[in-house]
């Protein structure tokens, strides 16, 4: 399971031109599920992301988690994170999980974030054509893979 985590001061997700989800200070998490991923992968990534100290404290040091700053999470499924670009110019998505495997793990990640942050996680819509606008704060962008523990 892969995640691209962006610290944001604001973020909005639109579907068909209408705002579907939006957050203020927090994290935009793009989540890619691979065929071999399990609930353990989701638990690992959500645990790490929820506790990652990437928000500034009073001294300007990255020393606070999203929970510490009472931030929000916008979690968006993105199968393209598992693109294989080794051959040719067209990415292959053969490692990305099929919806019947990916959706339950994505939904588990939502529940895990809800529990970890003690608030409702905002989401995209699985399989929809989504437009995301954000202000990346820092910028801070971190790429994580549950297979790289």
The answer to whether the CB of 25 falls within 8 A of the CB of 128 is no
**Measured between alpha carbons, how far is 43 from 39 in angstroms, rounded to an integer?**
6
The answer to whether the CB of 27 falls within 8 A of the CB of 74 is yes
**Measured between alpha carbons, how far is 6 from 135 in angstroms, rounded to an integer?**
9
Active site (catalytic) residues: 80
**How far, CA to CA in Å, does 94 sit from each of 98, 127, 144?**
9, 16, 20
């Amino acid at each position: 399971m892969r995640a691209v985590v962006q610290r944001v001061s604001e973020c909005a997700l639109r579907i068909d031109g209408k705002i579907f989800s939006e957050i203020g200070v927090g994290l935009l998490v793009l989540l890619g599920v691979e065929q071999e991923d399990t609930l353990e992968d989701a638990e690992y990534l959500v645990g790490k992301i929820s506790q990652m100290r990437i928000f500034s404290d009073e001294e300007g040091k990255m020393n606070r988690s999203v929970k510490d700053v009472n931030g929000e999470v916008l979690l968006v499924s993105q199968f393209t994170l598992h693109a294989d670009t080794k051959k040719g110019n067209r990415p292959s998505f053969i490692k990305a999980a099929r919806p019947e495997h990916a959706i339950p793990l994505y939904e588990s990640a939502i529940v895990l974030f809800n529990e970890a942050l003690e608030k409702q996680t905002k989401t995209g819509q699985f399989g929809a054509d989504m437009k995301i606008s954000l202000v990346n704060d820092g910028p801070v962008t971190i790429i994580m893979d549950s297979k790289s523990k």
